[in-house]
Amino acid sequence: MTSFRSIPYLLFGGIVVFQFLRQKATVSLTTQKFKAAGNCGMCKNRIESALDARGVNKASWDLDSGQVSVTFNPKKISLDDLQQKVADAGHDTAKFKASDEVYEALPACCHYRSA
């Protein structure tokens, strides 16, 4: 049997649970795709690691197609920011080119640009 003294605690607990569930329901994730240049498994690891950021739920790069698929919260990070992170790691995207310095520092097997 519940005593009257525990009612405020039950109400507070209910409010906390309701707020948590409401907040979880309002998080809207989106999945977008973009091209990222690369050649091998090391490129895959580097690209996916570059996308391990706040607001990103999951990211994967497909070696055959060169497509990155990333699921993220656009309120926390933009698609442009994600592409910039990949370019900063040494891999060109449709919007951003990796700096020559970072690109040249990649292992030889990861050099994807034509001479």
In a domain, 48, yes or no: yes
CATH number of the domain where residue 54 is located: 3.30.70.100
pLDDT digits (tens, 9 = 90+) for 21-38: 665 555 799 999 999 999
Mean pLDDT of the chain, nearest integer: 88
Burial label, 93 (beta-carbon count in 10 A; 0-12, 13-18, 19+): buried
How many domains is the chain partitioned into structurally?
1
pLDDT digits (tens, 9 = 90+) for 57-90: 999 999 999 999 999 999 999 999 999 999 999 9
Tokens of 30: 């989106």
Tell me what pLDDT residue 65 has: 97
Tell me what pLDDT residue 4 has: 58
In a domain, 6, yes or no: no
In a domain, 40, yes or no: yes
Domain assignment of residue 91, given as a range: 28-110
Which residues on adjacent β-strands are paired with residue 60?
A: 69
Tell me what pLDDT residue 114 has: 85
Q: What is the DSSP string of 40-65?
A: SHHHHHHHHHHT--TTEEEEEE-TTT
